[in-house]
Structure 1
Amino acid sequence: MIDSSIDLSDFQTPGRGGGLADVIRRRYLLGLLVRKGTSTRYRNAALGWMWSYSRPLSQYVIYYFVMGVLLGNNRGIDDFAVYLLSGIIAINFFNESFGAATKSITDNKALVKKIYLPRELFPVAAVLNALVHFLPQMGVLIIAGLLSGWRPSMMTIGTGLLGIGILTLLSTGLGLIFGAINVAYRDAQNLVDVIRLFVTWTAPVMYSWKHVGDALPHWAEQLYLLNPLTTAVGLLHRGFWYMGPADSVNLIPHLWRGSIIAIVITAVVIVIGQLVFRRRERTFAQDL
């Protein structure tokens, strides 16, 4: 018989946590997972962290030659090199974090099956690992911007950070959704790979916003602007590329209004992601 005088308020039902709030409470564990991911990513690789630059640099060279030189976009956009670089690293960060978060539970199945800890730690750690590898690319962007005449200010830095924040939270929310589904249905991982192929072209990275406004009817143009990735890339352009009214024709219109919409959509995705994750995490161990 259970003694009713014992205070059980500090105990939790086994296997049930507090969701993303537990990630904050267990930030020490989160730090361990992030350090593990960053330390093992390029283990036994001769070039080490230099591989963080290889893929974006390769993409940059190819896209600049095809879209800038062959198709002539470098003549329609001032400082096209910086415009292209800021968009590429933003989309690459989203794609990497989204893909890694989707595979985070299955990649850590040994831990998930053996011990209990907040499972949200894995997708969040995957996104933070991608953020760590994104920072050196941001350093390159800042140097390129300074060489092209960009001058930092509180407004430009804050605008760029807002764009990065939207990308981080959006990939976290989507990673929670697809990461949870991927445990039972590995088709989710293949679907995410397809989505990532389209993502590069759903934001003004290799082309100007002016081309979108000229080519699409008004309703499609408004739908395009509802994409949080479009807004996030626009914020990085505003923060690290835009230098005056002459560039405004290629800058996404109503960017601050779009930022509010993007924040709301991202918050909804986070909530949905948490609900889907909490619902499916009960069967993670047996599905793995």
Structure 2
Amino acid sequence: MACGFFPIDEAGRAAVTTIDLSEYDVPGRGRGLADVFRWRYLLRLLVRKGTATRYRNSVLGWTWSYVKPGIQFLMYFLVVGYIFNGNRGITNFPIYLFAGLVAVNFFNEAFGNSTTAIVDNRALVKKIYLPRELFPISAVTVAFIHFLPQLAILLVVALLYGWLPTFAGIGAMLLGMALIAALALGLGLFFAGINVRYRDAQNFVEIIRMVSTWASPVLYAWTLVAEKASGWVLHLYMSNPVTIAVELFHWTFWEPTVPVDAVEQPHGFPPHFTVYLTVAVVMCAVILIIGQFTFRRFERTFAQDL
């Protein structure tokens, strides 16, 4: 069956038509994270699917987004704060604890969901082509949406402790959220690509998520680490992007509630915080690049491996 026609020149021969193919994409190959802007509609659909199916057939529904972090906070507050006396030297420990937990929970959920995003959407990956990066990005976006109820609780509690918002504080919070999202996406892309072929990657991710809560000043003050460690160990600890994000959340929500004359906890950011922040930003950028490269490397065999 003819699909078209060729123009015939005077000699009766088919003339070759020159067509500009620069506007056409090679099938099955995208432009990585840049495709997010071109495929915004599909990204919205994936985000809507992720939020709609999270609490499907659940009686309480979105109430669980408030209940689970509330119970987690209560357990840490009672066990670490009172049984182990971890609240000593930290004024308004509930705000300090919950601000750190909110930041770490955002990282853990975004990182975990983006790691399994390809495997969880295997039906779509095997049947149709669309930029595979949309799945980890949508997972991070869904984690952010589920992070908002926890942030709302933190805002209410902070207001009860006398917190007043400032432009600098809001900016620090947004910077902390951006660091967490970039780190979670970079690590998620890296492990999502590997996880399709080697499911052991998911176990590594669970270990990282378990350690992240304790490897940042959430249940304790960073000064305790400074007392026990020094040199490159302390610098490595403070350069952790999650640690930086937690301290930015502390500075936004906890610091304004601490009296100026309180001597239990040092005010302001840790020493050399600007240097640590710069290192954390560079680390997130490098991890994003490595994650994208690794993801693209394994993307070629996603359909076969699934």
TM-score by length of structure 1 reads 0.96
User: Which residue of 2 is the match for residue 257 of structure 1?
Assistant: 275
| Contact 1:169/1:266, CA 8 A, preserved across alignment | yes
Alignment of 1:1-288 (within 5 A): 3=16, 5-243=18-256, 246=262, 247-248=265-266, 251-288=269-306
- Distance in 2, matches of 1:19 and 1:164, equals 22
* Contact 1:68/1:74, CA 8 A, preserved across alignment: yes
Between Structure 1 and Structure 2, whose CA radius of gyration is higher? 2
Q: Give the CA deviation at 1:255.
A: 2.6
Specify the SS of the correspondent of 2:27: coil
3-state secondary structure, aligned to 2:116: helix
Rounded Cα–Cα distance in structure 2 between residues aligned with 1:184 and 1:12: 27
| Counterpart amino acid of residue 277 in structure 2 | S
User: What's the % identity of the aligned pairs?
Assistant: 53
* Unmatched 5+ stretches in structure 2: 1-13
> 2: distance between equivalents of 1:153 and 1:259?
20
User: Which structure dedicates a bigger proportion of its chain to helix?
Assistant: 1
Q: Tell me by how many angstroms 1:260 deviates.
A: 1.7
Task: Specify the code of the residue in structure 2 equivalent to 1:58.
Answer: I
Alignment length, in residue pairs? Answer: 288
Distance (Å, rounded) in 2 between the aligned partners of 1:131 and 1:37: 12
How far does the alpha carbon of each residue in 1:69-124 deviate from its partner, in whole angstroms, 9 at most, with x for none?
A: 11223231011000000111111111111010000000000000000000000000
Contact 2:255 2:268 in 1 (8 A): no
Q: Which blocks of at least 5 consecutive residues in structure 1 are unaligned? A: none
State TM-score, norm by structure 2: 0.91
Asked whether the equivalents of residues 244 and 280 of structure 2 are also in contact (C-alpha less than 8 Å), the reply is yes
C-alpha deviation, 1:251, in angstroms:
4.8
What amino acid maps onto 1:189 in structure 2? Q
2:284 counterpart letter in structure 1: T
**Equivalent-residue separation in structure 2 for 1:204 and 1:271 (angstroms):** 27
Instruction: Tell me the CA shift for residue 40 of structure 1.
Output: 1.2
**2:117 aligned partner, one-letter code:** S
Quote the RMSD (CA, aligned, Å): 1.6
AA at the equivalent of 1:86: A
Confirm or deny: 8 A CA contact 1:210 1:250 kept in the other structure: no
- CA drift at 1:161: 0.8
CA distance in 2, matches of 1:135, 1:281: 32
Greater shift in the superposed pair: 261-270 or 119-128: 261-270
